[in-house]
C-alpha cells in the first residue's frame, strides 16, 4: 500500500495514476460516495458499511484527510463528537469520478447482457 501512496505524490507519473492512488483501497470510493450526501460521524459510517472495522475506517479516513479529501471536525462536547465531511477538493474528485461511475454501470450492464445471451 505504501508504494501506491507514494505514487500519489510522484510528479513523474501519469495523472490518472496519481488520482487512482488517492482512491485506491477497498473503502475509499464508497466513503467518498457516502460523504457526498452529507457529513457523517464515524459510527454512522461503520453502520452504513458492513464489514468495515473501526480500525480500518479510522486509517482510511486519516489517509483521506491527509490527501485533502475529507475534513475532520471535533466538537468539544462530552463525549467528543467527531464529524467527517468532504472538502471542496474531495467534492471535485467525486465530480471527476462521476463519468467513470457511469462507465462502470454500462460495463456491468454489458456483462449482464452477455451472461443472459450465453
The pLDDT score that the predictor gives to residue 5 is 60
How far are the Cα atoms of 15, 17, 57 from residue 54, in angstroms, in the given order?
31, 28, 5
pLDDT beyond 90 at 59 = yes
Query: Is residue 2 over pLDDT 60?
Result: no
Whole-angstrom distance, CA of residue 3 vs CA of residue 92: 24
Among 26, 27, 18, residue whose Cα is nearest residue 93: 18
Per-residue pLDDT at 38 exceeds 60: yes
Amino acid at each position: 500500500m505504501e508504494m501506491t501512496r507514494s505514487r500519489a505524490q510522484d510528479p513523474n507519473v501519469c495523472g490518472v495514476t496519481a488520482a487512482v492512488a488517492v482512491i485506491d483501497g477497498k473503502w475509499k470510493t464508497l466513503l467518498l460516495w457516502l460523504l457526498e450526501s452529507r457529513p457523517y460521524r464515524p459510527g454512522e459510517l461503520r453502520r452504513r458499511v458492513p464489514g468495515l472495522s473501526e480500525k480500518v475506517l479510522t486509517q482510511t479516513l486519516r489517509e483521506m484527510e491527509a490527501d485533502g479529501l475529507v475534513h475532520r471536525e471535533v466538537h468539544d462536547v462530552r463525549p467528543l463528537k467527531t464529524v467527517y465531511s468532504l472538502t471542496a477538493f474531495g467534492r471535485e474528485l467525486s465530480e471527476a469520478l462521476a463519468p467513470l461511475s457511469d462507465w462502470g454501470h454500462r460495463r456491468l450492464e454489458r456483462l449482464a447482457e452477455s451472461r443472459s445471451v450465453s
